[in-house]
Amino acid sequence: MDISVVIPLLNESESLPELADWIKRVMDEHGFSYEVIFVDDGSQDGSWDIICMLAGKNPAIKGIKFRRNYGKSAGLNRGFEAAQGNVVITMDADLQDNPEEIPELYRMITSEGYDLVSGWKRKRYDPISKTLPTKLFNAATRKASGINLHDFNCGLKAYSKDVIKVIEIYGEMHRYIPVIAKWAGFRKIGEKVVLHQERKYGTTKFGLERFINGFLDLLSITFTSKFGRRPMHFFGSLGTLLFSLGFMIAAYLAYAKFFWEGYKMTERPLFYFGLLSMIIGTQLFLTGFIADMISRNSHDRNHYLIEKKIGIDAQ
């Protein structure tokens, strides 16, 4: 199969028939073999009934329905597990992503060898309350990840099958799929300017809180990717540095106490800073030690991503 289109959705019943027809028209024009996987994230507006109706008309349409709302990351992760196409395209169900972009995204993966191609909505039909925080979010993500993309959160993306079968998305990490892919060893990540259309039906399902959560998730994924298997390197180093600083302050104050007449070290603010530094340093070191013990007992502590083998039987 050439293409799997994975579409997570929540309460988008009005747009689904038009989107399904549009995708079918594009696929038929270019002769692609394909499947469309709608992942209903606990909709309450009859979206699932629409998906069932569409699947009855077109066998390429498939559906997964969650019992309750789990979020976009869960929908994508489950859709990736079910996808069978050599190239996987993700898009939103609100008709703001244009299916006409699919053939070029497919070509970039299959002909140019990209592991992942992310859409860039250069011109957006969103209010400034969304576009300005998005620009700040993208700038912070570029700085932290070293990936030069303009729009990390664009729902329209293309992946090689190898990528989606390796990466795992959870929480609200769908914003950072390019970052997760890079740290999984997929380095050829590209970008394509895509058309962004005005929302035709309904309202957005995301509020301003997504930007706060986004920055917290960025800190989380940055830490776990760099130190997830060796937390002692982070906490231990920081703890040792703080404890050493506090110890040097204490040694200086003790020297002054014994050799400088009338010196009262407990009346110096430096005394309390040094004491606090040693206490926090000890706590950080112990945190690293405990985290390292947990990491070493993890079931996937020796799980490494292997790209190819030669002379070794596949297991």
Distance in angstroms (rounded) separating the CA atoms of residues 4 and 177 = 17
Residue type, 15: S
How far is the C-alpha of 253 from the C-alpha of 255, rounded, in Å?
A: 5
246 and 195 co-located in one domain:
no
Q: Are 166 and 184 in contact (CB under 8 A)?
A: yes
Say what the pLDDT of residue 299 is. Answer: 60
Domain span at residue 170 reads 3-227
> Could you tell me if 84 and 221 lie in one domain?
yes
Residues 145 and 56 reside in one and the same domain? yes
* Dist CA 17 CA 270 (whole Å): 69
The predicted model scores a pTM of 0.74
Residue pair 105/30 in contact by the 8 Å Cβ criterion: no
Same domain, 212 and 273: no
Q: How far apart are CA 101 and CA 151, in angstroms?
A: 16
The Cα–Cα gap between 67 and 76 comes to 16
| C-beta separation of 211 from 126 below 8 A | no
pLDDT at position 265 is 74
Q: What per-residue confidence (pLDDT) applies to 202?
A: 64
> Which among 205, 227, 249 is the end of a domain?
227
The pLDDT assigned to 257 comes to 79
**pLDDT reported for residue 115:** 96
Q: Does 243 share its domain with 207?
A: no
**Do residues 215 and 140 touch, judged by C-beta distance below 8 A?**
yes
* Tally of domains in the chain: 2
Which pLDDT score is estimated for 120? Answer: 92
Does any domain span residue 308? no
53, with CB counted inside 10 A (0-12, 13-18, 19+), is middle
How long is the chain? 315
Q: Quick one: 66 and 170 in the same domain?
A: yes
d(CA 281, CA 240): 6
In a domain, 47, yes or no: yes
Question: Mind giving me the DSSP string for 18-39?
Answer: HHHHHHHHHHHHHT--EEEEEE
Number of neighbours of residue 315 by Cβ within 10 angstroms:
4
Whether residues 170 and 39 fall in one domain: yes
Residue 306 lies in a domain: no
Q: Are 183 and 149 in contact (CB under 8 A)?
A: no
| Shared domain check, 145 and 242 | no
pLDDT, one tens digit for every residue, the chain (315 residues): 999 999 999 999 999 999 999 999 999 999 999 999 999 999 998 999 999 999 999 999 999 999 999 889 899 999 999 999 999 999 999 998 999 999 999 999 999 999 999 999 887 766 666 667 778 888 888 887 888 899 888 899 999 999 999 888 877 788 889 988 998 889 899 999 998 877 777 666 555 566 666 677 777 767 766 776 678 888 888 999 999 999 999 898 888 878 877 777 777 888 889 999 999 999 999 988 888 777 666 665 555 555 555 666 655
In this structure, are 256 and 210 located in the same domain? no
What's residue 310's pLDDT?
64
